[in-house]
Amino acid sequence: MSARRGSLLVLVACLSVAVLYRKRLLEYLKQASANVRAFDLPAAGMYDALVSSALEGFYARVAEETAAAFPHGKVLEVGSGPGRLAVHLAHNVPNLELTGVDISVAMVERATRKAEEAGLAGRVRFEVGDVGTLPFDDEEFDGVVSTLSLHHWPDPSRGLSEVYRVLKAGGEARIYDLAHWLWHPALGENRLSRMAAASPFGGGEIDVFRWPGAVPTFVLLRSTRKDES
């Protein structure tokens, strides 16, 4: 058999396989896309081991800053994932009551187990929920913290409105996310500033969060709910 004929047969075989499995491939791609949008990876354990573990130092630093901002009261974590930040924060602030909310059932289950294993089940709980319709009462929390979740929100404006709604008067939202060179909507301070200004917060302060070391990998948006009394 000539090389040319052999190459042609291989091409025909590949095309045949593509046709036969086209439907299955499209279904897989559709599910993968949905997983990314919902931040519901096929294995929460794999995400925890490969991604969250690599960010352990990041979560520890965020926990220190959050502990200084909220030394007591009730704090909501939006996009709590496998629960690493919540566990760090609960250890740092014994008097804090923490609630985590995440759109992924698998992440909530894993975070719940992590809190139980750390002996924190009495002060830390996790619920399934969407930032666009948070399952909490108005003015329920003294503070809100979120890490690497904002860029997954389908409607950031609606999410910020919900965060504002569940905050008590004078309560602060601390939203950590990717820097402009990693996430286009964070390009420069103006975009995030406009996003915050268009929300019920009416604005906020934006700081560069350097980690690891001096690398400006993240930004922090800090917005406070006005006292409307």
Residue 220 has pLDDT above 90, yes or no: yes
- For residue 43, being part of any structural domain is answered with no
- Do 184 and 79 lie in one domain? The reply is yes
Please count the structural domains in the chain: 2
Name the band, by pLDDT with cuts 50, 70 and 90, for residue 17: very low
Structure tokens, 158: 């609606």
What does the alpha-carbon distance between residue 78 and residue 60 come to, in Å, rounded to a whole number? 17
- Do 33 and 64 lie in one domain? The reply is no
- Do 97 and 19 lie in one domain? The reply is no
- Do 115 and 69 lie in one domain? The reply is yes
- For residue 86, being part of any structural domain is answered with yes
- For residue 44, being part of any structural domain is answered with no
pLDDT at 26: 47
C-alpha distances out from residue 161 to 6, 54, 115, 149, 182, Å: 62, 31, 29, 15, 25
pLDDT at 73: 95
- Do 119 and 160 lie in one domain? The reply is yes
- Do 22 and 110 lie in one domain? The reply is no
The pLDDT tens digits of the residues spanning 134-189 come to: 999 999 999 999 999 998 898 999 999 999 999 999 999 999 998 866 665 554 54
By the 8 A CB rule, do 222 and 205 touch? yes
Domain of residue 8 covers 3-38
Q: What is the CA radius of gyration of the chain?
A: 21
pLDDT at 44: 65
Q: Which residues, including other chains, have CB under 8 Å from residue 108's CB and lie 6 or more apart?
A: 80, 100, 102, 126, 127, 128
